[in-house]
Chain A
Amino acid sequence: MKKTIERLTQAFGPSGFEERIRALIRDEIAGLADEVRVTPLGSLVATRRGSGSGKRLMLAAHMDEIGVMVTYVDEKGFLRFTGIGGLFPGYCLGARVVFENGTVGVIDVEGKFDRRSKMPGLEDLYIDVGARSRADCPVRVGDAGGFVGPFVDRGQHLIAKTMDDRIGCAVLIEVMRRLQETPHEVHVVFSSQEETTLSGAQTAAFEIDPDIGIAVDVTGTGDRPESRPVAVELGKGPAVKVQDAWMVAHPRVRELLVAAAEAAGVPYQMEVMEMGTTDAATVQTVRAGVPSGCLSIPCRYIHSPNELVDVGDVEGAVRVLLELLRREV
Chain B
Amino acid sequence: MMLKELAEAFGPSGNEKEVRAVLRGAVEGHVEQMWVDSLGSLHAVKKGTSSSGMRVLLTAHMDEVGLMVIGHDEKGGLRVRTIGGIDERVLAGKAVWVGSERIPGVIGLKPIHLLEKKERSEVTPLRQLVIDIGAEGKEEARRLAPVGTTAVFATPFRELGTAVMGKAFDDRAGCAVLAELLRGEPFRHTLHAVFTVQEEVGLRGARVAAYAAEPECAFVLEGTIADDLPREKEGSPTSELGKGPVITVMDRSFTAHRGLLRLIVAAAEEAGIPYQFKQPGIGGTDAGAIHAARSGVPSAAVAVPCRYIHGPACLLQWSDLEHTAQLMRETLTRLTRRALRRD
Contacts and interface: CB of A to CB of B under 8 A. Distances in A.
Contacts of B280: 69-71, 82, 141-142
Interface string B271-290: 00000010111100000100
B236 interface: yes
A227 to B, nearest CB: 29
A195 to B, nearest CB: 10
Contacts of A74: 234
B314 to A, nearest CB: 23
Contacts of B104: none
Contact of B343 (A23, A43, A70, A141): A23
A191 to B, nearest CB: 11
Contact of A142 (B277, B282, B342): B277
A141 B279 CA distance: 8
A40 B297 contact: yes
B250 A40 contact: no
Given A71-B279, A80-B236, A196 B343 contact: no
Interface stretch (B56-64, B162-170, B251-259): B251-259
Interface of A is mostly: mixed
B340 interface: yes
Contact of A69 (B253, B281, B340): B281
Most buried by B among A23, A69, A282: A69
Given A75-B234, A80-B236, A39 B295 contact: yes
Chain B, interface size: which category?
20 to 34
Interface in A97-146: 141-142
Contacts of A16: 250, 255-256, 258
Nearest to B295: A207
A70 B277 CA distance: 11
Q: Which of A16, A40, A75 has the most CB of B within 10 A?
A: A40
Contacts of B256: 16
A287 B155 CA distance: 43
B291 interface: yes
A284 interface: no
Interface string A39-56: 111110000000000000
B292 interface: yes
Interface string A187-207: 000000100110110111011
B298 interface: yes
A196 B250 contact: yes
State which size class the interface on A falls in.
Answer: 35 or more
B295 A203 contact: yes
Nearest to A193: B255
Interface in B221-270: 234-236, 249-250, 253-256, 258
Given A23-B343, A197-B253, A40 B295 contact: yes
Given A69-B250, A75-B234, A142-B249, A38 B296 contact: no
Contacts of A75: 234
A273 B143 CA distance: 52
A244 interface: no
A109 B234 CA distance: 16
A39 B296 contact: yes
Contact of B255 (A15, A23, A141, A207): A15
A71 B279 CA distance: 5
Given A15-B255, A41-B298, A199-B296, A83 B281 contact: yes
A196 B255 contact: yes
A49 B288 CA distance: 33
B158 interface: no
A203 B250 contact: no
A25 B236 CA distance: 37
Interface string A63-88: 00000011110110000101110000
Contacts of A193: 255
A22 interface: yes
Contact of A72 (B279, B292, B293): B279
A74 B234 CA distance: 8
Contact of B291 (A15, A41, A72, A83): A41
B337 to A, nearest CB: 11
Interface in A197-225: 197, 199-200, 202-204, 206-207
A17 B258 contact: yes
Nearest to B255: A16
A193 B258 CA distance: 13
Interface of A: 15-17, 19, 22-23, 38-43, 69-72, 74-75, 80, 82-84, 141-142, 193, 196-197, 199-200, 202-204, 206-207, 282
12 contacts: A38-B343, A40-B297, A40-B298, A40-B342, A41-B292, A69-B281, A80-B235, A142-B250, A197-B291, A199-B296, A203-B296, A204-B296
**Nearest 9 A/B pairs, CB to CB:** A72-B236, A16-B255, A203-B296, A82-B281, A41-B296, A142-B249, A40-B296, A199-B292, A207-B295
